[in-house]
């Protein structure tokens, strides 16, 4: 989760929560931490997405910049918002 102070700004601060035993999206402890984070930083509006939009691994940290995540092949060439597979323009059918 990140706080964006104005249009075009990068999210800062950013916080991440992880859960080994269950789905973090439904974990009560994580839900409470998210609410506290929002309140702590004085967010006046909140936007949420109703689906998973990417893998949990971070480019430049878990795998090299400019590459795809080797642990999440399902996400390769997929639109993060729709989940639709995006064809590589060099591989379009005739």
DSSP-assigned beta bridge partners for residue 2: 14
Predicted pLDDT at 94: 45
pTM over 0.85: no
pLDDT of residue 89: 55
- Exposed, middle or buried, 69 (CB in 10 Å: 0-12/13-18/19+)? middle
Low-confidence ranges of the chain (pLDDT < 70): 87-94
3-state per-residue secondary structure call for the chain: CECCCCCCCCCCCECCCCCCCCCHHHCHHHHHHHHHHHHHCCCCCCCCCCCCCCCCCCECCCECCCCCCCCCHHHCCECCCCCCECCCHHHCCC
């Amino acid at each position: 989760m990140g706080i964006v102070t104005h249009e075009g700004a990068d999210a800062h601060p950013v916080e991440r929560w992880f859960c080994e035993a269950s789905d973090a999206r439904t974990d009560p402890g994580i839900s409470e931490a998210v609410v506290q984070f929002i309140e702590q930083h004085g967010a006046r509006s909140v936007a949420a997405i109703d689906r998973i939009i990417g893998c949990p691994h971070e480019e430049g940290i878990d795998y090299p910049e400019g590459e795809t995540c080797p642990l999440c092949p399902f996400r390769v060439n997929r639109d993060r918002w729709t989940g639709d597979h995006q064809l590589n323009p060099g591989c379009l059918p005739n």
